[in-house]
Structure 1
Amino acid sequence: MDQATSYEKTSFQDLGISDRVLRALAEMGFEEPSPIQARAIPLLLAGKDLIGQAQTGTGKTATFGVPIVEKIDPRVRATQALVLTPTRELAIQVAEEIGRIGRFSRVRVGPIYGGQSIERQVRLLRAGLEVVVGTPGRIMDHMRRGVLSLDRLRILVLDEADEMLDMGFIEDIEWIIQQAPQDRQTMLFSATMPEEIRRLAQRYMRDPEFVQVSPQQLTVPQIEQFFYEVRQALKTEALTRILDAENVERAIIFCRTKKGVDELTEALQGRGYLAEGIHGDMNQAQRNRVMERFRGGQVELLVATDVAARGLDIEGVTHVINYDIPQDPESYVHRIGRTGRAGRSGTAITLITSREFPQLRLIERGIRQRIQRRPLPSLADIAERQRETLKSRVLKALEEGHLGYFREVARDLLQEDYAAEELLAAALKVAAGDQAPPAPLPTDFGETGAEPGFVRFFINIGRAQGVQPADIVRSIAGQAGIPGHVIGTIDIYDRFTFVEVPKEVAGQVMAAMQESTIKGRTINIEPARKR
């Protein structure tokens, strides 16, 4: 087995990938191949068997997904590629990603796993799937039933082989391999290489190439690092709370895709933040203009992809925020190294969903450091932070002096018939401007008859006014700044409507919708009474 060790920066176009797959990768937001993709995809396209030692988060799904899509013949209605995974969650995730890679190639992909109706899976398999992704036990069930045949199989992938070994699947895997044609191409991916995995490769693979991507041990001592766990649907809302609670002077916010950069930039600008985006689809003149504004302080938040931010050396970046978790420890260190420069301290914040904890642990192992968890700031936290910021601004101005003109205005105001405390409070209100703390949002709505985790609202407009569910969703999503798909059940009657929204955004929705309009009519919204 030869170990591929060299890796130079390259593009997907350099790897010999077809235009239809390049188009799919571009729409998925991939800008350049990860190290394992750059090393392995050319070998796999050439028909080589391959062992890839790589952990979750290194881009290995696309590493085997791209060659699978390129080699499948959609005219042959038979299973031509089989991917074995240790868990149903991974099976679903891998099937979805291969489906996106093959969206312009007419490749049919489906996940097969325990816990789902076996009859439904039988119908799916008989309809014809060129790519099957599944757990070993359920794959064996369908093979023994005669529903899944490997006679036309061209590619077999063992994903996270060491996990399947730990879960006791090794005998099942060997049985499946023995039913597959001997002239197939085999790919094995594993984070570790225990002896039993090596023996499996020796028995069932033909002169495999060996590609290893192991994270370097990296340290970032000057940077305070912590993460917030957030729900995917409420990520933007969580980010804005963090921005309001943190003392963010100048930040780079990293997104995984170009589309993500555009959407987040638009959302931040709509909420009043000084944000601009930068990514690979922008020409050099556009990029230069954005960077000049960021360096000059006209822009406080730079939303960027990894590729667009490469080589940036900007003084005074106080925060790096990983809106999307990076794919590997090296990318993480490169990102957060944009702050804490020249001996200064810096802060790195990462937003993760519950599914991304394995990726976070991979990063922690790579940097040999635990990343501290923090709870999302409450509205009270935000108000307290803004209060402290305002006080520090006043005290700083006092220390700097040069108050002659303002002292005269103060003397004039003190002659008025107001208490000094009231005058100072009014002056601070003027000084704070848009930074005045938000009014506290209601949090206790009582029992409204909604589904668990939701609050049910009454709106005084209905079918008689021509209201459709789309009108309700569009209005709430636009006014409250939440994703439309998190809105729950909508019941429209002749002259009123009930709508359910998640509890965590209910106060936000109620505050935003007061006195707003739907179909040109000013509406009233209030918690529903339990029926």
Structure 2
Amino acid sequence: MTKFEELGIKNPILTVLSEIQFHEAFPIQAASIPVLLSGQDVIGQAHTGTGKTAAFSLPIIQNIVPKGGIQALILAPTRELAVQITGEIQRFSKNSHVRYVTIYGGQSINVQFNELDRGVEIVVATPGRLIDHIKRGSVKLKNVKYVVLDEADTMLDMGFIDDIRFILDLVPKDHLTALFSATMPPEILMLAEKYMRSPQKIFIDSDDLSGEGIEQAFLVIRDREKMEFLLKFIKENTTGQTIVFCSTKERTRRVAHDLEKERFNVVSIQGDMSQFRRDKAMYLFRKGKADILVATDVAARGIDVPEVALVVNYDVPSHDMVYFHRIGRTARAGAKGKAITLVSYSSIGDFKAISSQTKVAMKDLNKELGIVVNIPDPLKREVSHRRGGGRYEHSKPWKKIRRKTGGKRGKRRRKAKIWRQK
């Protein structure tokens, strides 16, 4: 692997990297850092957990001019990812006299005003709150030299594409742009074509959906049995923390509540929570004061906790990329991890579509645990009885044919019809 000094990184950053045990660069870092240091735009396609933050932040920190105004904008789709990026910048810039701020919705805007008034060189922000500050005049873009769009595909999915265009139209034309995304939908490519200048395209593991370093397994069970097996897998995980992913906010609340009743140290994050509660939950989890985090997909964006040893998909995710994002919360930075998906009978089709995208065989826990799958036949439908003794006959399972037969009401109707005919 390549050492950071070979990429053009200099002291005092090298000293900090050595202190935090960053001796060799990951592939996305080795490919991106020299290009960004040379002043060329970059499009990087890489999945989470590949070291993207260092790939774009180290060149920015090295080239920042202290007290030169806001020189770098880093846009992220969620508050959690923005906070994570700022945390990495804080580590890397320990000896560099670089000032930075994180701005996002849900936090007091007056607190952000005060931090901006003190003077910063790097702004890490979610698009909506950044636009608020631009319109209020608290963020001035005249000195911006670097713009980073991190997880651009997620920002597209969350409806931020127009906000991004608005921001890019305001920054000086001669700025450098770095765009990082796990996928490259047409809208992202069109954005790059309009706003980037001859970007260097870097593709790291763009087709690798295997989840390297992650032992993947699944268990097909009834939905009502999921909590029983979740408890079993959590108790068996003795090597680190656990993240449980749920599909809805209500499901997240219920699962967290049930785990608390079992006396586990649990925190949860989901969209309805206040920013203070979300920040507190993530602080407790990152510090190891909570063993289990229960989260929805959007709320969990940007989670980077090295001690996560187990990820449980309590619900099958809606898309294969969501699945790989979820399981990527474990096995960070070359470590090993385990991911288990609990598949209800109604989700088997969705899970098969996802599992077909993996490059490694998933362990079948039904065979290992001796659990037989008895899937009800949806074509076998019972005849539903009506009050009064009548019934509906279903001649076709997929099409309800209503024909009234028998019962007191049926007899009365036939008698009335005969009487009228007379």
TM-score interval, smaller chain = 0.5 to 0.7
Q: Identify the residue that residue 80 of structure 2 maps to in structure 1.
A: 89
Is this contact kept in 1: 2:150–2:179, CA < 8 A? Answer: yes
Q: Identify the residue that residue 228 of structure 2 maps to in structure 1.
A: none
1:152 paired with 2:109, answer no
Deviation of 1:35 (Å): 0.5
Pick aligned residue for 1:143 from 116, 124, 134: 134
For each residue in 1:391-410, what CA deviation from the matched residue of structure 2 results, as whole angstroms up to 9, or x when unmatched? xxxxxxxxxxxxxxxxxxxx
Q: Identify the residue that residue 199 of structure 1 maps to in structure 2.
A: 190
Q: Which amino acid is 2:92 matched to?
A: I
Is this contact kept in 1: 2:67–2:120, CA < 8 A? Answer: no
For each residue in 1:106-127, what CA deviation from the matched residue of structure 2 results, as whole angstroms up to 9, or x when unmatched? 0011100000000110111111
Deviation of 1:95 (Å): 0.9
Deviation of 1:169 (Å): 0.5
Pick aligned residue for 2:4 from 4, 7, 12: 12
Deviation of 1:27 (Å): 2.2
1:327 paired with 2:332, answer yes
| Counterparts in 2 of 1:55 and 1:219: CA distance versus 1, 3 Å | closer
Q: Identify the residue that residue 116 of structure 2 maps to in structure 1.
A: 125
Deviation of 1:10 (Å): 1.2
Q: Identify the residue that residue 200 of structure 2 maps to in structure 1.
A: 209
Does the residue aligned with 2:114 lie in a helix, a strand or coil? helix
TM-score using structure 2 length: 0.55
For each residue in 1:49-93, what CA deviation from the matched residue of structure 2 results, as whole angstroms up to 9, or x when unmatched? 0000011111000000101101100132x1000001000111111
Deviation of 1:220 (Å): 9.2
Pick aligned residue for 1:177 from 168, 180, 183: 168
Q: Which amino acid is 1:67 matched to?
A: P
Is this contact kept in 1: 2:216–2:362, CA < 8 A? Answer: no
Is this contact kept in 1: 2:216–2:338, CA < 8 A? Answer: no
Is this contact kept in 2: 1:364–1:371, CA < 8 A? Answer: no
Q: Identify the residue that residue 469 of structure 1 maps to in structure 2.
A: none
Q: Distance in 2 between matches of 1:58 and 1:136?
A: 24
Give unmatched runs, 5+ long, in structure 1: 1-8, 239-254, 261-323, 337-348, 353-361, 374-531
1:37 paired with 2:42, answer no
1:68 paired with 2:73, answer no
Q: Identify the residue that residue 23 of structure 1 maps to in structure 2.
A: 15
| Counterparts in 2 of 1:371 and 1:28: CA distance versus 1, 3 Å | farther
For each residue in 1:102-145, what CA deviation from the matched residue of structure 2 results, as whole angstroms up to 9, or x when unmatched? 11100011100000000110111111110000000000000000
| Counterparts in 2 of 1:220 and 1:112: CA distance versus 1, 3 Å | closer
Q: Distance in 1 between matches of 2:16 and 2:356?
A: 31
Q: Distance in 2 between matches of 1:171 and 1:137?
A: 10
Pick aligned residue for 1:46 from 31, 38, 43: 38
Does the residue aligned with 1:104 lie in a helix, a strand or coil? coil
Does the residue aligned with 1:133 lie in a helix, a strand or coil? strand
Higher RCO, 1 vs 2 (CA within 8 Å, ≥6 residues apart): 2
Q: Identify the residue that residue 421 of structure 1 maps to in structure 2.
A: none
Deviation of 1:234 (Å): 4.5
For each residue in 1:365-386, what CA deviation from the matched residue of structure 2 results, as whole angstroms up to 9, or x when unmatched? 765455799xxxxxxxxxxxxx
Is this contact kept in 2: 1:59–1:327, CA < 8 A? Answer: no
Q: Identify the residue that residue 152 of structure 2 maps to in structure 1.
A: 161
Give the aligned CA root-mean-square deviation in angstroms.
Answer: 3.4
Counting only pairs closer than 5 Å after superposition, residues 12-411 of structure 1 correspond to structure 2 as: 12-76=4-68, 78-214=69-205, 216=208, 228=237, 229-230=241-242, 231-234=285-288, 325-327=330-332, 331=334, 350=338, 367-370=359-362
The number of residue pairs the alignment matches comes to: 255
Q: Distance in 1 between matches of 2:46 and 2:355?
A: 13
Q: Which amino acid is 1:60 matched to?
A: K
Does the residue aligned with 2:332 lie in a helix, a strand or coil? coil
Q: Distance in 1 between matches of 2:89 and 2:71?
A: 14
Deviation of 1:29 (Å): 2.3
TM-score using structure 1 length: 0.44
Deviation of 1:98 (Å): 1.0
Q: Identify the residue that residue 315 of structure 2 maps to in structure 1.
A: none
Deviation of 1:351 (Å): 9.8
| Counterparts in 2 of 1:114 and 1:220: CA distance versus 1, 3 Å | closer
| Counterparts in 2 of 1:367 and 1:184: CA distance versus 1, 3 Å | same
Q: Which amino acid is 1:160 matched to?
A: E
Q: Which amino acid is 1:42 matched to?
A: P
Does the residue aligned with 2:74 lie in a helix, a strand or coil? strand
Does the residue aligned with 1:52 lie in a helix, a strand or coil? strand
For each residue in 1:334-361, what CA deviation from the matched residue of structure 2 results, as whole angstroms up to 9, or x when unmatched? xx6xxxxxxxxxxxx5599xxxxxxxxx
Q: Identify the residue that residue 471 of structure 1 maps to in structure 2.
A: none
Q: Which amino acid is 2:194 matched to?
A: R
Give unmatched runs, 5+ long, in structure 2: 218-232, 243-284, 293-304, 308-328, 341-353, 366-422
Q: Which amino acid is 2:48 matched to?
A: T
Q: Distance in 1 between matches of 2:355 and 2:28?
A: 17
Deviation of 1:235 (Å): 8.5
Does the residue aligned with 2:61 lie in a helix, a strand or coil? helix
Q: Distance in 2 between matches of 1:175 and 1:224?
A: 41
Q: Distance in 1 between matches of 2:90 and 2:137?
A: 25
Is this contact kept in 2: 1:217–1:368, CA < 8 A? Answer: no
| Counterparts in 2 of 1:45 and 1:116: CA distance versus 1, 3 Å | same
For each residue in 1:257-307, what CA deviation from the matched residue of structure 2 results, as whole angstroms up to 9, or x when unmatched? xxx9xxxxxxxxxxxxxxxxxxxxxxxxxxxxxxxxxxxxxxxxxxxxxxx
Does the residue aligned with 1:103 lie in a helix, a strand or coil? coil
